[in-house]
Each structure stands twice: as C-alpha cells, then as structure tokens.
Amino acid sequence: MPNVYSRKISNGELDPWRGGGIQTTLSDTLHAIIIPDVGHHVDLFFSNKMDTEAIKQARDFEREQIQKWIVEKRSSYGQ
C-alpha cells in the first residue's frame, strides 16, 4: 500500500468483515493484528473484567503505537 504510514489494523478472529481486510503486517508502519475468539472491533470497547489476555495485548500494542506516532510527529515539527 503506497503512501500509508502509521496504521494499525485490528481484526477479531470471529469478525465477519475480517475476510475483506488486511490480515498480515505489511511493513514497520502498517501492522495487522488478529485477536483470537472475538468479533468486530472489540479492542475499541472500554476495558472490562471479561477481556481476554489477547484483547489486553492488542490494546497495549495499539497504545504503544499511538504514543510512538505522536512522538515521531512532534519531532518532525522540532518539538
């Protein structure tokens, strides 16, 4: 995918839309995550005690990537 930077695509393993999306990491800046045993966009829900370890790991990875993108963008502005 040309000109795509800093993207994270998550798919629930049970998500019926998953088949039409990107399911493998394509580069250092375009990551795909498949979260086992869940449906559509569960990683975007609020955390709760029923979250699996896979959901928690996906959210942690997403949080780390967003923080990294913010730092990179700020540094590109000289901040």
Residue 35 confidence class, pLDDT cut points 50, 70, 90: very high
pLDDT digits (tens, 9 = 90+) for 49-68: 999 999 999 999 999 999 98
Q: Say what percent of the chain tops pLDDT 70.
A: 92
In this prediction the pTM is 0.81
Q: Which long-range contacts (CB under 8 A, 24 or more apart) does 39-43 make?
A: 39/12, 39/14, 39/15, 40/12, 40/15, 40/16, 41/10, 41/12, 41/15, 42/12, 43/10
Q: Which 3-state string (H, E, C) describes 40-72?
A: CCHHHCCCCCCCCHHHHHHHHHHHHHHHHHHHH
Alpha carbons 18 and 24: distance in angstroms, whole number? 11
